[in-house]
Amino acid sequence: MSAPRGVFSGPFGAPAVSTEEDVLPAGIKLDRRSSVSAESMSTNTTEPRAGAVFPKTEHQKERLIAALSPNLLFRQLESEQFQSMLLAMREMRFAKGDIVIKQGDDADYCYATESGSLDVYVQPPGTPAEVALRAPANDLGQKVATYGPGATFGDLALLYMQPRAASVVATSDCVLWALDRLSFRTMLAHSDVQRRIMLDAFMKQVPLLQHLREDERLRVCDAIEFVEYPAGETVLREGDIGTQFFMIVSGVAEVIKQKETVSLLQRGDYFGELALLHRAPRAATVLASERSPNKKLRVGVLQEDAFTRLLGPLSDIMDRHAAMHYGTTPEAPTTTEAPPGSPRSGDAPAP
């Protein structure tokens, strides 16, 4: 259920069946339905066990710091947390063609790229983890991204205790720095930027938000809420007047027009933008799909005022997205906009 983008980033927190109780760190606002799944990281419990330590030369430390320095949230860690993370990270080398992460696999490490390049592949929406894991190296799905030096990835699967949501393949010889799950979660448990790390990591998976500067993405972090829908429940209905924008954190959503499914959306996709961009009723019905792992759809939600303030300038990109997924892009109304708080007399159904 975006993600996890934070200290580490990448599309690797795929939704999957979980037996854990749904828990979120304090500070995240939730709708009454349910919460987003994440392991509890309360500091009121027993002190976490120390993770592995890998001594490094001064040259290795310099290389590692250079690889991590592009990340804004990493630079916000306390000095003690920063030093602990440096000690816990280990150097790993991969040859061209090596599969660093396989979709569907269990998560053990997250990575920071020092050198080399890697491609990211994702299987079609709703592909079971066990099916993705058995896929041959020449059939890993659709290529969705390329990573180079300074890229960090693999954190969301550790955050949400779920299988990998994508495969990552080295396209050249690579040097990566890896952090194990225990050390990663121990760091988060004692970090006052824990919530931002989780949210920023998810949002770096949303293609729309990749056009934003890191400080702009952090402002979106502060405004986002999380809601969970069981399979079969309607998230929004065609023709309704909408006041919310949705980004999929996990699961699969079905886009329906005239009682037919016209598109499937998964982690990183978004919907609900047309009603806010054009002050028009919803252009399609969206419901939580039975294809969703664990039969749940989790979404991040922006209210209308936050959406307009933070994402309004991206309207052209969203119009093109709407034409692809809804089959239509309504024109903005020509009537004069009503004053705040008054009825919108210009609202009309999208063609």
225 a known binding residue? no
97/95 Cα distance (integer angstroms): 6
164 a known binding residue? yes
Amino acid at 264: L
- Work out the angle at residue 300's Cα, subtended by the Cα atoms of residues 296 and 302, and round it to the nearest 5 degrees: 145
62 a known binding residue? no
123/136 Cα distance (integer angstroms): 12
With DSSP H G I counted as helix, E B as strand and the rest as coil, what are the percentages for the chain, rounded to 5?
30, 25, 50
Q: Name 302's Cβ contacts closer than 8 Å, sequence gap at least 6.
A: 220, 223, 224, 225, 244, 245, 247, 310, 311
Query: In the 8-state DSSP scheme, what is residue 174?
Result: E
Helices and strands in the chain, H and E counts = 10, 16
**What φ, ψ does residue 319 adopt, rounded to 5°?**
-65, -40
The separation between CA 176 and the C-alpha centre of its own chain, rounded to angstroms, equals: 22
User: Which residues belong to the annotated binding site?
Assistant: 164, 273, 282
| Binding site, annotated residues for 3',5'-cyclic AMP | 164, 273, 282
